[in-house]
């Protein structure tokens, strides 16, 4: 008794505490950065020259409180970009007549406007944090400047369009709305007047680019040097961004990329633009007039390859003093190379006397490798030190990134379109009021009280259950004005005992009960029309008695003896000499079993003998299947054993579809279930197609091939699935219409009718040759052997549990973010005790958010500066293409040594040398568009 009291006390305390927590209501006054918009301010707010965003606040929703905080934070950051985020308080009496305030689905979206026009409604489910909000809104702002390219052709056309004019910053993003997408869009906002940006979310589309992303990569960025390409036939040099994917690193890289890749002293001046704050590596190349061409060679190779990572200073030692560039002296021999990392300290000079491009590259690469291996604290890490991290007792376990990837890929790649549709429809109110919910107390009584009962057994978290539940409720609504309401449902999550007693093993399951007893499981399509038709058919007499000739004649015309129309498109008539005739009992049994799919009529007094010859029977008994919508074969007589229920049932069920049906995705499963070969007529709306169908229809009427499924497939539209199947079967993209194919799907063989003329005799002979295996040629196409099963293996949860248990006994480096750990346990927006965190205090963000804010302000300052708005020609770095009237610095008379600044990719005449290595790729991290398969310049690169 004491234990029971303690449990009740704990429950009461829990309810009281929960009520107290919910009592803290969120109000619009808690928005600090999103502007509160009044009704009279709405028109001006929507007329923004850029993008304005509005959230209509109808009432506090505890599930949306995390969104409120993120929306307010986004308003602060996007305000720097002159983008306004506002809130309309729909609870204010002055705002009640605003249209959005009266719509139930309004709180589930934020609404965007520009120049007074409505743009997109962005759903909260895709705008759940600062990253998704900022990236989506900036993508809208820059939709023209940052296009989304989803195919190889679009990407190729985009690159060709900008060859010779602009460099391209192209990114693959695994999804729109991620942190990586956000920082890319922020950088694009600041630099889109200097570079051309574009993105793609299709991994197939970017598969041909240099170093394509793997299945686990969240993002990848390519730098395509297209402004230097002299003709559309040549490829752009491509580099891959390989630094950290955060705003600070990417913004800093773009600043470095905006600078020229090389600077000549004194040709371009005596003060170079590579300031220490950029962190660029400087490569000093010393030359004299006699050795200038040797320095140019290395610039052709390395100028583009290291652009954004290292800058090259070419120094004419005959025209420059060491102190002018902060050096003590120049090397005695030229050419010479020295390296200064991150523009700090003294340059490290190569001491080898023999000069070559390979030796210079080897020196630079070795120094770069040494620098990268040296951590910030000055301790040199060896490869073995790196391998020892995370090792304990000779057991190596994956790091956090590998662990995350192992669990993530299956979830993101196996999409469930039914689940997505259910999720999107969940805000529309589910109308299930006219279908009665059954419990363990009401289930048995309702089944016994009513003549016919449909009962849906479902789970509330199963998406297919929820998809059908909505249609089921609409079907019940059709009986609103009738006293007979047959539709009921059982929530198997709440009433497990009821579902267990009924032996429910899959969901959803629709059972039919008749006169208090189980009749059958519903096996038709899960649609409103089919469920209602099944109920109407079950209400009828099975079979319907047809006593008089007039009744029989009306039934053949689709009318019941009481004058009502027959439900469904297919119905069956059985004509017998008397009630004791052979097959009567079999027919009546089949009528009861298939009574929810077809209307059955029966005559057992011989009055049907006058209709026998009309419908293709030789005499009584005569069973005919009539099909309202089959224009090729509106009726077919059964010629099998009338005493075989199995044969008769199979014949009737196969007659459910038209004899020459148009193949559709919804019809295909029903036909495929018959396990028979398909004869597919690929047609369009032209006269040749109609002429081809005539002999096919004649063959169908003759009944010469009862074991084949004849169907047609509309293939006129180039993008239709019919056209795609035709091209696949003929292994050609130029297949003409009409066409005819024999597809034996179970054997994976496809035969194509190759004769130009379509006649009944030729088609019949072709089909018989295939069936008798007398066809001389092999099948023109073989289908891949496969099974309909999940694309990915399921989770082995027991193995995961065992692995987690074993991991507890290993030494794991304590480098996990405590906020992430708390979020994994309690969810986002809750503290370590499981209490909801109310975002009311300033300055509680992460340190990197503060850093990002500083970077963001610098980007905005850059975007708004006078320097940023210079004419493009004046701001172009020396290596970029310039007009003819400005080319004196690179136009060198024949036979003379150049005296102007050295530029990468030019020979002594100042023109591009197509044979220089400067246009070659550099292995995994650089190359040419659309892909680079050229030799690597240097193995270490």
At residue 540, the pLDDT reads 86
Q: Is the pLDDT of residue 575 over 90?
A: yes
| pLDDT of the residue at 10 | 53
How many CB atoms are closer than 10 A to CB 890? 17
Q: What is the mean pLDDT of residues 637-651?
A: 92
3-class DSSP state of 285: strand
- The residues, ordered by sequence, that sit 6+ positions from 832 with a Cβ below 8 Å of its Cβ are 818, 822, 825, 826
pLDDT of 466 strictly over 70: yes
Q: Which residues of 256-276 are buried (b: 16+ CB within 10 A; e: fewer)?
A: bbbbbbbbbbebbeeebebee
Give me the half-sphere count of Cα atoms (radius 13 Å) on the Cβ side of residue 352.
Answer: 12
Tokens found for residue 880: 């970029």
Locus of tokens 């990572």: 309
> What pLDDT shows up at residue 75?
92
Burial class, 104, CB count within 10 angstroms (exposed 0-12 / middle 13-18 / buried 19+) = exposed
Question: Residue for token digits 């497990």?
Answer: 496
Question: Count H helices, E strands: the chain?
Answer: 27, 33
At 507, is the pLDDT very low, low, confident or very high (cuts 50, 70, 90)? Answer: very high
Contacts of 169 (CB under 8 A, 6+ apart): 188, 191, 195, 196, 197, 198, 221, 222, 223, 224, 254
Q: What is the dihedral of CA 42, 111, 171, 816, to 10 degrees?
A: 110
Is the predicted pLDDT of residue 774 greater than 80, yes or no? no
Helix, strand, coil proportions of the chain in percent (round to 5)?
35, 15, 45
The more confidently predicted of residues 221 and 217 is 221
Residue with more model confidence, 54 or 331? 54
So what's the pLDDT on residue 921? 37
| Pair of tokens at residue 719 | 């993008």
Lowest-pLDDT range of 382-386, 420-424, 813-817: 382-386
Residue with more model confidence, 800 or 312: 312
Which residues, 6 or more positions from 906, have their beta carbon under 8 angstroms from its beta carbon? 296, 300, 890, 912, 913
What per-residue confidence (pLDDT) applies to 621?
A: 93
What's the CA gap between 241 and 213, in Å, rounded? 12
Give the orientation angle of helix 292-302 with respect to helix 357-373, to 10 degrees. Answer: 50
- Could you tell me the sign of the dihedral formed by the alpha carbons of 62, 64, 65, 68, in that order? negative
CB 530 within 8 A of CB 524: yes
Residue 863: predicted pLDDT = 56
pLDDT band at residue 645, thresholds of 50, 70 and 90?
very high
What would you report as the CA-atom Rg of the chain, rounded to the nearest whole angstrom? 38
279 contacts 345 by C-beta, under 8 angstroms: no
228/225 Cα distance (integer angstroms)? 7
pLDDT number for residue 864? 54
Confidence of residue 21 (pLDDT cuts 50, 70, 90): very low
Identify which has the larger pLDDT, 502 or 5: 502
DSSP string for 63-123: GGHHHHHHHHHHHHHHHTTT-EEEEEETTSGGGTTSGGGG-TTGGGEEEEEETTEEEEEEE
Of 115, 113, 114, 112, residue with least CA distance to 126: 112
**CA angle (869 as vertex; 866, 872 as ends), nearest 5:** 135
The CATH 3.40.30.10 domain(s) of the chain lie at: 28-141, 419-534, 543-782
Closest by Cα among 924, 933, 917, 931 to 304:
917
Q: Which CATH superfamily is domain 543-782 in?
A: Glutaredoxin (3.40.30.10)
Element holding 603 (H helix, E strand): strand 599-603
Q: Choose the most confident range, by mean pLDDT, from 17-21, 145-149, 410-414.
A: 145-149
Band (pLDDT 50/70/90 cuts) for residue 787 is: low
Q: What angle do CA 71, 76, 77 make, to 5 degrees?
A: 95
Instruction: Give the orientation angle of helix 645-654 with respect to helix 584-593, to 10 degrees.
Output: 50
Query: What is the Cα–Cα distance from 503 to 484, expressed in whole angstroms?
Result: 27
Mention the CATH class of domain 419-534. alpha beta
pLDDT digits (tens, 9 = 90+) for 351-367: 766 677 777 777 877 77
CA–CA distance, 679 with 390 (Å, rounded to integer): 62
27 burial level (CB within 10 Å; 0-12, 13-18, 19+): exposed
Please give the structure tokens belonging to residue 279.
């962190």
- Please report the pLDDT score of residue 590 as a whole number: 94
Distance CA 315, CA 210 (A): 33
> What strands, in cross-sheet order, belong to the sheet with 635-637?
544-545, 599-603, 570-575, 622-627, 635-637
Q: What is the distance between the alpha carbons of residues 591 and 600, in angstroms, rounded to a whole number?
A: 6
Structure token digits, residue 532: 């209602």
Q: How far apart are CA 503 and CA 509, in angstroms?
A: 10
Which of 50-54, 116-120, 564-568, 885-889 has the lowest average pLDDT?
A: 885-889
3-state SS assignment for residue 341? helix
The per-residue pLDDT for 776 is: 58
> How far is Cα 461 from Cα 365, in angstroms, rounded to an integer?
57
Q: Is 512 a residue whose pLDDT tops 90?
A: yes
Give 443: exposed, middle or buried? Use CB within 10 Å, 0-12, 13-18, 19+: buried
Rounded to the nearest 10 degrees, how much is the dihedral formed by the CA atoms of 838, 842, 845, 850? 160
Look up residue 578 and give its DSSP letter: S
For residue 563, is pLDDT > 60? yes
Confidence of residue 166 (pLDDT cuts 50, 70, 90): very high
- Give the C-alpha separation, 215 to 339, whole Å: 37
User: CA-CA distance, 313 to 260, in Å (whole number)?
Assistant: 10
Position 556 confidence tier, pLDDT thresholds 50, 70, 90: very high
Report d(CA 649, CA 523) in Å as an integer.
Answer: 14
The pLDDT tens digits for 65-112 are 889 999 999 999 898 888 899 999 999 988 888 989 988 778 889 999
> pTM, whole model, 2 decimals?
0.49
Q: Is 463 helix (H, G, I), strand (E, B) or coil?
A: helix
Distance of CA 297 to the CA centre of its chain: 46
Four-point Cα dihedral 516, 517, 521, 522, nearest 10 = -40
Residue 859's pLDDT is 66
- Bridge partners, residue 172, by sequence: 200, 220
Measured at the CA of 357, the angle between CA 353 and CA 360, to 5 degrees, comes to 55
Q: Tokens standing for 820? A: 């992430």
DSSP 411-435: HHHS--HHHHHHHHHTTSPP--TTS
| pLDDT tens for each residue of 715-746 | 888 778 888 898 888 877 667 899 999 999 88
Helix (H) / strand (E) containing 56: strand 52-57
- pLDDT-based confidence at residue 15 (cuts at 50, 70, 90): very low
Whole-angstrom Cα distance, residue 123 to residue 55? 11
Architecture of domain 28-141: 3-Layer(aba) Sandwich (3.40)
Q: What confidence score (pLDDT) does residue 375 get?
A: 60
Tell me if 545 sits within 8 A of 468, measured CB to CB. Answer: no
Query: Which pLDDT band, with edges at 50, 70 and 90, does 833 fall under?
Result: low
Q: Tell me which residue has tokens 């030692």.
A: 317
Pairing of strands 348-349, 395-396: unpaired
**Minimum mean pLDDT range among 173-177, 473-477, 479-483, 646-650:** 479-483
More confident residue, 865 or 723: 723
The tokens for 905 are 């990719």
Strand duo 678-683 + 739-744: pairing: antiparallel
In whole angstroms, give the CA distance from residue 239 to residue 170.
10
To 10 degrees, the CA torsion angle through 195, 196, 201, 205?
A: -120
């Amino acid at each position: 008794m004491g234990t029971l009291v303690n449990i009740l006390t704990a429950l009461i305390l829990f309810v009281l505490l929960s009520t107290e927590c919910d009592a803290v209501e969120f109000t619009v006054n808690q928005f600090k950065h999103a502007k509160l918009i009044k009704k009279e301010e709405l028109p001006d707010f929507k007329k923004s020259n850029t993008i304005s965003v509005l959230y209509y606040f109808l009432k506090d929703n505890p599930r949306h409180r995390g969104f409120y905080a993120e929306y307010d934070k986004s308003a602060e950051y996007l305000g720097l970009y002159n983008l306004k985020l506002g809130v309309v308080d729909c609870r204010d009496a002055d705002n009640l007549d605003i249209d959005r305030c009266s719509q139930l689905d309004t709180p589930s979206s934020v609404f965007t406007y520009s120049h007074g026009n409505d743009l997109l409604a962005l759903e909260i489910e895709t705008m759940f944090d600062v990253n998704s909000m900022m990236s989506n809104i900036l993508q809208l702002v820059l939709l023209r400047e940052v296009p989304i390219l989803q195919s190889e052709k679009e990407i190729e056309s985009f690159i060709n369009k900008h060859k010779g004019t602009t460099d391209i910053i192209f990114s693959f993003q695994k999804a729109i709305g991620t942190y990586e997408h956000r920082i890319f869009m922020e950088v694009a906002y600041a630099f889109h007047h200097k570079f051309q940006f574009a993105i793609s979310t299709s991994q197939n589309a970017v598969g041909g680019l240099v170093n394509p992303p793997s299945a686990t990569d969240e993002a990848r960025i390519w730098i395509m040097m297209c402004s230097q390409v002299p003709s559309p036939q040549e490829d752009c040099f491509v580099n891959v961004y390989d630094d950290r994917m955060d705003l600070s690193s990417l913004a800093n890289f773009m600043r470095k990329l905006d600078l020229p890749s090389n600077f000549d002293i004194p040709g371009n001046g005596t003060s170079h633009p590579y300031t220490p704050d950029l962190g660029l590596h400087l490569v000093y190349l010393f030359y004299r007039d006699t050795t200038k061409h040797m320095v140019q060679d290395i610039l052709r190779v390395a100028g583009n390859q290291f652009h954004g990572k290292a800058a090259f200073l070419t120094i004419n030692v005959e025209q420059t003093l060491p102190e002018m560039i902060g050096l003590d002296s120049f090397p005695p021999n030229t050419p010479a190379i020295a390296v200064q990392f991150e523009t700090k300290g003294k340059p490290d000079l190569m001491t080898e006397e023999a000069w070559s491009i390979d030796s210079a590259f080897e020196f630079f690469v070795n120094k770069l490798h040494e620098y990268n291996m040296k951590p910030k604290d000055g301790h040199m890490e060896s490869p073995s030190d790196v391998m020892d991290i995370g090792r304990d007792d000779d057991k190596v376990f994956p790091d956090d990134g590998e662990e995350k990837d192992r669990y993530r890929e299956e979830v993101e790649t196996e999409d469930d379109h039914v689940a997505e549709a259910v999720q999107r429809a969940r805000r529309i109110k589910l109308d299930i009021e006219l279908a009665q919910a059954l419990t363990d107390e009401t289930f048995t009584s309702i089944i016994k009280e009513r003549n016919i009962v449909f009962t849906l057994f479902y789970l509330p978290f199963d998406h297919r259950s929820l998809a059908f539940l909505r249609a089921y409720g609409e079907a019940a609504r059709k009986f609103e004005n009738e006293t007979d309401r047959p539709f009921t449902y059982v929530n198997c999550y709440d009433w497990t005992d009821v579902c267990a007693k009924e032996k429910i093993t899959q969901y959803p399951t629709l059972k039919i009960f008749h006169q208090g007893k189980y009749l059958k499981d519903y096996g038709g399509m899960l649609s409103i029309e089919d469920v209602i038709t099944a109920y109407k058919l079950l209400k009828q007499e099975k079979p319907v008695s047809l006593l008089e000739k007039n009744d029989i004649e009306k039934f053949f015309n689709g009318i019941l003896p009481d004058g009502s129309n027959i439900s469904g498109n297919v119905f069956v008539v059985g004509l017998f000499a008397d009630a004791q005739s052979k097959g009567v009992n079999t027919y009546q049994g089949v009528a009861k079993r298939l009574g929810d799919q077809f209307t059955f009529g029966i005559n057992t007094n011989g009055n049907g003998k006058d209709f026998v010859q009309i419908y293709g029977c030789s005499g009584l008994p005569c069973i005919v299947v009539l099909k309202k919508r089959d224009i090729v074969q509106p009726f077919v007589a059964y010629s099998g054993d009338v005493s075989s229920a199995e044969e008769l049932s199979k014949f009737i069920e196969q007659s459910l579809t038209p004899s020459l049906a148009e193949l559709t995705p919804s019809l295909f499963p029903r036909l495929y279930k018959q396990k028979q070969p398909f004869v597919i007529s690929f047609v369009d709306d032209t006269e040749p197609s109609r002429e081809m169908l005539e002999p096919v229809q004649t063959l169908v009427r003759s009944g010469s091939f009862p074991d084949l499924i004849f169907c047609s497939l509309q293939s006129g539209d180039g993008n239709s699935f019919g056209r795609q199947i035709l091209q696949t079967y003929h292994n050609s993209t130029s297949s003409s219409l009409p066409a005819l194919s024999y597809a034996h799907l179970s054997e994976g063989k496809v035969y194509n009718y190759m004769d130009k003329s379509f006649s009944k005799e030729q088609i019949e002979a072709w089909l018989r040759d295939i069936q008798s295996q007398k066809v001389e040629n092999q099948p023109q196409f073989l289908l891949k052997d496969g099974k309909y099963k999940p694309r990915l293996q399921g989770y082995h949860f027991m193995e995961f549990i065992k692995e987690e248990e074993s991991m507890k006994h290993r030494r794991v480096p304590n480098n996990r973010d405590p906020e992430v750990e708390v979020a994994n346990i309690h969810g986002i927006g809750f503290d370590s005790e499981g209490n909801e965190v109310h975002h009311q205090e300033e300055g509680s963000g992460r340190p990197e958010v503060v850093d990002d804010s500083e970077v963001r302000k610098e980007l905005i300052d850059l975007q708004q500066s006078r320097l940023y708005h210079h004419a493009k020609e004046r701001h172009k770095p020396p290596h970029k293409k310039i007009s003819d009237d400005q080319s004196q610095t690179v136009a060198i008379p024949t036979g003379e040594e150049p005296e102007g600044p050295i530029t990468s990719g030019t020979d002594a005449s100042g023109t591009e040398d197509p044979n220089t290595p400067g246009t070659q790729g550099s292995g995994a991290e650089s190359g040419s568009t659309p892909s680079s398969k050229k030799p690597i310049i240097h193995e270490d690169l």
